[in-house]
Chain A
């Protein structure tokens, strides 16, 4: 109770409350702007936290995170332009509702579903992370290495269409993570005599380069979408009358979102799709889905906001980021000298409770901010790419690097921006590169620590139960990934076959 009191006292300080409201609002605005994702929102605002205390930094970043995940739905519903990729599922039914004159109701339902979904995931976050953190204290070198291997296997197997490409991306990240001074032997590795490379690849500029700079480059090649603002959006507050009809969908979708959030390499888009599919499967009127079904909007939005709490569980307890957003948050933690994992629960207990409290308050603030400002926020979709791209590009390059005070970090942001751009073009998982860049040092350190134990050998990874469990799960993830790839190939082959058959038929 003491910790809850301390955390509340910190959070309810006027400056933190104002900052939280501002950050949730900023998150909603950035999320609503097409091309700017929640990952970019966090990445671009990390530099702002350089001079902040740990608590203030996480109040800002978590507010942005929750706000941005919701913000994408506004332009998806009103303009059929999903602000974030996750909002694409919301647009399937949200925009048809707008076209029928029910845009206000769709927005209201999306706002309420997002709030409830986010709050339910906070409950899971609080209970599960406290339990899991205790369990994680039993982990030693072999368990951490196997856990890292499991997370890597899940990421390279599930985050793209091809397992081989995923494996290449993961290995690339792991190799890059070995550059610099070896912290055990204190000798340089793969530095080629260049002094700057001695410090290795700094993770924060690299990750911001991979996601934000690369995204700015991608923005440059996309064609400008002409959007129209819908006038006369009303009925936002009427949406609460639909709650009794929608509560079961919200509950189910929130559970789906929270669980999906805890798994590495999944994220909000997959959660939205799964919750949407489940809502369509169990509804009495599946034919209305895609034509403006309010349950579709509700399922998608509660699931994608429920991911926020779930995704923080592996990050906080095990130090394993589950998706791109938590990867950015992990970068921010590293900047502030925090090492996520069981140590965080031992040494930074107040901060942990502040994080829980911030997540709850952020989701609560979405409700009034969304209901009152959504119509106005939608106008950010009108900002032209020719103004947005240069600003985002320069902010992404400089923001991540300026705090370090050396031009080497600018180079890292830019080179990783190119890398992220070409990886995405070639179908290689950018998430796999980024995640293994972070996981690489953890895995290597624990592998070497494990092998230093008395009587150690490769078999020890198979004889320790928790380590064995993670290795079995890793193998299962790869098998699942290979089967999924085979299915995708079969579907694509069928598609190609039917296209070629159609071409043959249409040929005179």
Chain B
């Protein structure tokens, strides 16, 4: 599975980077363990365990355990023209949801909380093939309810958005 490979590779990389960085930490005489002891030990255990898992995954490449390249190939296969089976549709929808979620905080900074939240909810609803009018109404309700709840009840700071600030400046 792609997730097993992805997590294993991430862990190996992170543990290598963390392990190497622990050697740059300076020692403090009154702290025998120091800043490095704990992360260094954990990164060694994590790296070894992740490598062990990768070896195990390579050894048991049965039908449900694909190699990293095959998994990536399957993922891109769902983007081929005419791939309209349920798995491909779900795969594409998940990718769009991930992209929308990544864009959301960026958009909050640029456009402000209210427009960004409205757009995010609208996009998610459209990805589920909701009707446009219903999506507009519901996303407006959700976004404005959240906005007023955060502002009035929680008295939280809600990003106003750089674009909007620039217009009024």
Q: In the complex, A486→B48 CA distance in Å?
A: 20
Closest B-chain residue to A163, C-beta based? B49
Closest A-chain residue to B10, C-beta based? A172
* Residues of A contacting B8 in the complex (Cβ-Cβ under 8 angstroms): 168
Q: In the complex, A385→B128 CA distance in Å?
A: 9
Q: In the complex, A188→B49 CA distance in Å?
A: 27
Q: Is the CB of A220 within 8 A of B94?
A: yes
Task: Tell me, rounded to whole Å, the shortest Cβ–Cβ distance linking A505 to chain B.
Answer: 19
Say whether A386 faces chain B, with CB atoms less than 8 Å apart: yes
Q: Is the CB of B146 within 8 A of A178?
A: no
Say whether A448 faces chain B, with CB atoms less than 8 Å apart: yes
* Residues of A contacting B109 in the complex (Cβ-Cβ under 8 angstroms): 407
* Residues of A contacting B83 in the complex (Cβ-Cβ under 8 angstroms): none
Q: Is the CB of A168 within 8 A of B50?
A: yes
Contact with A along B1-36 (1 / 0, CB 8 A): 111101110010011001001000110101111110
Given the interface pairs A221-B90, A426-B3, the reply to whether A50 lies near B39 with Cβ below 8 Å is: no
Q: In the complex, A395→B124 CA distance in Å?
A: 13
Contact with A along B65-106 (1 / 0, CB 8 A): 000000000000000000000100010011001100110110
Q: Is the CB of A410 within 8 A of B104?
A: yes
Q: In the complex, A389→B135 CA distance in Å?
A: 13
Say whether A411 faces chain B, with CB atoms less than 8 Å apart: yes
Contact with B along A373-409 (1 / 0, CB 8 A): 0000000000001110111011101100011010100
Task: Tell me, rounded to whole Å, the shortest Cβ–Cβ distance linking B131 to chain A.
Answer: 10
Q: Is the CB of B39 within 8 A of A175?
A: yes
CB under 8 Å from chain B, chain A span 171-212: 171-172, 174-175, 178, 182, 184-185, 187, 189-190
Q: In the complex, A427→B125 CA distance in Å?
A: 29
Chain B: number of interface residues, binned into ranges: 35 or more
* Residues of B contacting A411 in the complex (Cβ-Cβ under 8 angstroms): 105
Closest A-chain residue to B40, C-beta based? A178
Q: Is the CB of B18 within 8 A of A190?
A: yes
Q: Is the CB of A452 within 8 A of B32?
A: yes
Q: Is the CB of B153 within 8 A of A390?
A: no
Determine which of B18, B26, B53, B146 lies in contact with A395 in the assembled complex, contact meaning CB atoms within 8 Å.
Answer: B146
Binding-face segment, A87-95, A113-121, A326-334, A417-425: A417-425
Task: Tell me, rounded to whole Å, the shortest Cβ–Cβ distance linking A199 to chain B.
Answer: 16
Closest B-chain residue to A51, C-beta based? B154
Task: Tell me, rounded to whole Å, the shortest Cβ–Cβ distance linking A483 to chain B.
Answer: 18
Determine which of A175, A395, A402, A428 lies in contact with B42 in the assembled complex, contact meaning CB atoms within 8 Å.
Answer: A175
Q: Is the CB of B156 within 8 A of A189?
A: no
Say whether A278 faces chain B, with CB atoms less than 8 Å apart: no
Say whether B164 faces chain A, with CB atoms less than 8 Å apart: no
Task: Tell me, rounded to whole Å, the shortest Cβ–Cβ distance linking B43 to chain A.
Answer: 6
Q: Is the CB of A178 within 8 A of B39?
A: yes
Q: In the complex, A72→B1 CA distance in Å?
A: 31
Say whether B58 faces chain A, with CB atoms less than 8 Å apart: no
Q: In the complex, A172→B25 CA distance in Å?
A: 20
* Residues of A contacting B11 in the complex (Cβ-Cβ under 8 angstroms): 168, 171-172
Say whether A165 faces chain B, with CB atoms less than 8 Å apart: yes
Task: Tell me, rounded to whole Å, the shortest Cβ–Cβ distance linking B126 to chain A.
Answer: 9
Q: In the complex, A215→B37 CA distance in Å?
A: 35
Say whether B168 faces chain A, with CB atoms less than 8 Å apart: no
Q: Identify the interface centre among B42, B86, B124, B130: most chain A CB within 10 Å of its CB.
A: B42
Q: Is the CB of B129 within 8 A of A394?
A: no
Q: Is the CB of A164 within 8 A of B146?
A: no
* Residues of A contacting B117 in the complex (Cβ-Cβ under 8 angstroms): 394, 398
Say whether A451 faces chain B, with CB atoms less than 8 Å apart: yes
Q: Is the CB of A171 within 8 A of B154?
A: no
* Residues of B contacting A185 in the complex (Cβ-Cβ under 8 angstroms): 26, 28, 31, 34-35
Say whether A29 faces chain B, with CB atoms less than 8 Å apart: no
* Residues of B contacting A448 in the complex (Cβ-Cβ under 8 angstroms): 31, 33-34, 37-38
Given the interface pairs A423-B7, A451-B32, the reply to whether A391 lies near B128 with Cβ below 8 Å is: no
Given the interface pairs A414-B104, A414-B105, A447-B33, the reply to whether A403 lies near B154 with Cβ below 8 Å is: yes
CB under 8 Å from chain B, chain A span 240-262: none
Closest B-chain residue to A418, C-beta based? B98
Q: Is the CB of A425 within 8 A of B33?
A: no
* Residues of A contacting B153 in the complex (Cβ-Cβ under 8 angstroms): 48, 51
Say whether A167 faces chain B, with CB atoms less than 8 Å apart: yes
Q: Is the CB of B121 within 8 A of A397?
A: no
Determine which of A387, A414, A451 lies in contact with B125 in the assembled complex, contact meaning CB atoms within 8 Å.
Answer: A387
Q: Is the CB of A443 within 8 A of B38?
A: yes
Q: Is the CB of A171 within 8 A of B42?
A: yes
Task: Tell me, rounded to whole Å, the shortest Cβ–Cβ distance linking B92 to chain A.
Answer: 11
Task: Tell me, rounded to whole Å, the shortest Cβ–Cβ distance linking B105 to chain A.
Answer: 4
In the complex, the 5 A-B pairs of residues with the closest C-beta atoms, listed nearest first: A426-B3, A386-B128, A171-B46, A425-B3, A390-B124
- Please list 16 pairs of residues, one from A and one from B, whose beta carbons are closer than 8 Å in the complex, sorted by A's number: A164-B56, A168-B46, A189-B25, A220-B93, A220-B97, A389-B124, A389-B128, A390-B128, A390-B142, A395-B146, A398-B113, A402-B154, A407-B108, A425-B2, A426-B6, A427-B4
